[in-house]
């Protein structure tokens, strides 16, 4: 089988997301190709994590068994935000597809399965159906389109073509409102790489209590301004936030640059508690099910502190209100007193990929009739038996 993944990530990036693990699994099953789009000189303005790969742009390369291509254009289409500019926005997107990379076109023609990751990728759906109508098409909903603020043109295009895709695979029931109602929707939860346990020793910490936070998504530095003063005896380790040391951080806050994923694992396993310091604005409820950092904390039995909105029904998490010292104090104290336990077992990435490629074959991917009523707490679909 020949698999093609279209994404605004790049498979060679140091920062790993779910699409990277799925692609690695696809490479074990056949030929996997990863086409990275929405990259140009404009990307420098947003500190795109692919900037470190700029020298590799516009040429094919192999990375860990996956053929990769980072398509760099002079400019790329983007969300122009203002309604008056939507005709110009639409024109740029249409030109982007109309002058699609010859590499993308060739890879589409040769693909048996095309995976479109949420974001800009769905704008290429009709190009796929025109060049290769026999290809199986799968939408991988890593994020809700409204949450990541895609351009109006992208959202309109997705709403139009979504019912025609082979499968819409959502990582959380909280994403249901973001996709058109159709019978090709499935719940395929976030997977987990159980091999992380092999890379999580030895401890990088001296004696004492240590709290760790990993990642930059919706990062709220204000949490550490408050927490470092409330708990001067805890050392807070902030890894890869993308912001550096901030005014107001106490001397007990240690800030690290972004690290390779495996390098972060000892910091997570041997911490006393984990922190998911998401800011309140724009915090999507589905993060309760898709946050990789929270899944890693739970895997290592680490009590976690996070905003109330993403505690969900996870007993290892303790919620707080961003910006509120009293609730931050209470959440940290509760986490410090909690036992180190893993309360649920996620699916392996192999099991996730099985469901992604043929979701109708699995009972645990189906959406019950009540799901459209947006439950306050998502049932633990990820508790399905792990192969």
Catalytic residue among 10, 48, 54, 143: 143
Instruction: Determine whether 143 is an active site residue.
Output: yes
Question: Comparing C-alpha atoms, which of 52, 66, 58, 42 is closest to residue 14?
Answer: 52
Could you please report the per-residue DSSP string of 110-159?
H-SEEEEETTTGGGGHHHHHHH-TTSEEEEEESS-TTTTT--HHHHHHHH
What's the CA angle centered on 80, arms 78 and 84, to 5 degrees?
145
Q: At what angle do helices 222-230 and 325-337 cross, to 10 degrees?
A: 60
Q: At what angle do helices 349-357 and 18-29 cross, to 10 degrees?
A: 80
Token couple for 120:
């800009």
Could you give the CA distance from residue 42 to residue 54 in angstroms, rounded to a whole number? 12
DSSP-H helix ranges across the chain: 18-29, 86-98, 102-110, 125-131, 152-161, 222-230, 261-269, 287-290, 292-299, 325-337, 349-357
Q: How far is CA 203 from CA 210, 215, 266, in A?
A: 11, 19, 6
Phi-psi region of 126 (alpha: psi -120 to 50; beta: other; left: phi over 0): alpha
Q: Which residues pair with 114 in a beta bridge?
A: 4, 137
Scored b (16 or more CB within 10 A) or e, 107-129 reads bbeebebbbbbbbbbbbbbebbb
Place of tokens 């095309």: 114
Q: Is 278 helix (H, G, I), strand (E, B) or coil?
A: strand
User: Which are the catalytic amino acids?
Assistant: 143
């Amino acid at each position: 089988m020949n698999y093609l993944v279209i994404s605004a990530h790049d498979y060679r990036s140091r920062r790993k997301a779910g699409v990277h693990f799925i692609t690695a699994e696809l490479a074990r099953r056949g030929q996997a190709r990863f086409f990275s789009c929405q990259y140009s000189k404009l990307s420098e303005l947003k500190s795109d994590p692919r900037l470190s790969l700029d020298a590799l742009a516009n040429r094919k390369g192999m990375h860990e068994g996956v053929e990769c291509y980072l398509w760099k254009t002079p400019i790329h289409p983007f969300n122009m935000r203002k309604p008056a500019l939507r005709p110009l926005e639409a024109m740029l997107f249409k030109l982007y597809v109309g002058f699609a990379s010859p590499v993308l076109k060739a890879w589409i023609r040769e693909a048996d399965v095309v995976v479109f990751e949420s974001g800009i990728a769905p704008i290429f759906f009709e190009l796929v159906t025109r060049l290769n109508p026999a290809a199986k098409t799968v939408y991988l909903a890593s994020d809700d389109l409204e949450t990541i603020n895609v351009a109006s043109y992208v959202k309109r295009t997705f709403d139009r073509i979504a019912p025609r895709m082979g499968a819409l695979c959502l990582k959380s029931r909280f994403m249901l409102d973001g996709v058109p109602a159709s019978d090709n929707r499935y719940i395929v939860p976030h997977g987990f790489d159980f091999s992380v346990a092999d890379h999580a020793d030895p401890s990088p910490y001296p004696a004492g209590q240590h709290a760790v936070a990993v990642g930059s998504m919706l990062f709220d530095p204000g949490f550490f301004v408050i927490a470092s003063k409330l708990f001067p005896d805890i050392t807070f380790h902030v890894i890869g936030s993308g912001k550096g040391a901030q005014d107001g951080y106490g001397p007990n806050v240690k800030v690290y640059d972004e690290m390779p994923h495996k390098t972060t694992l000892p910091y997570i396993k041997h911490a006393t508690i984990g922190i998911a310091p998401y800011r309140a604005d724009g915090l999507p409820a589905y993060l309760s099910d898709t946050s990789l950092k929270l899944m890693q904390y739970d895997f290592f039995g680490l009590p976690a502190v996070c905003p109330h909105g993403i505690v969900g029904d996870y007993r290892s998490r303790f919620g707080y209100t961003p910006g509120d010292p009293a609730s931050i104090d209470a959440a940290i104290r509760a986490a410090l007193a909690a036992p180190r336990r893993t309360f649920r077992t996620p699916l392996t990435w192999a099991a996730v990929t099985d469901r992604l490629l043929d979701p109708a074959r699995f009972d645990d991917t189906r959406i019950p009739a009540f799901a459209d009523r947006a439950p306050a707490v998502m049932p633990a679909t990820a508790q399905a038996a792990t192969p």
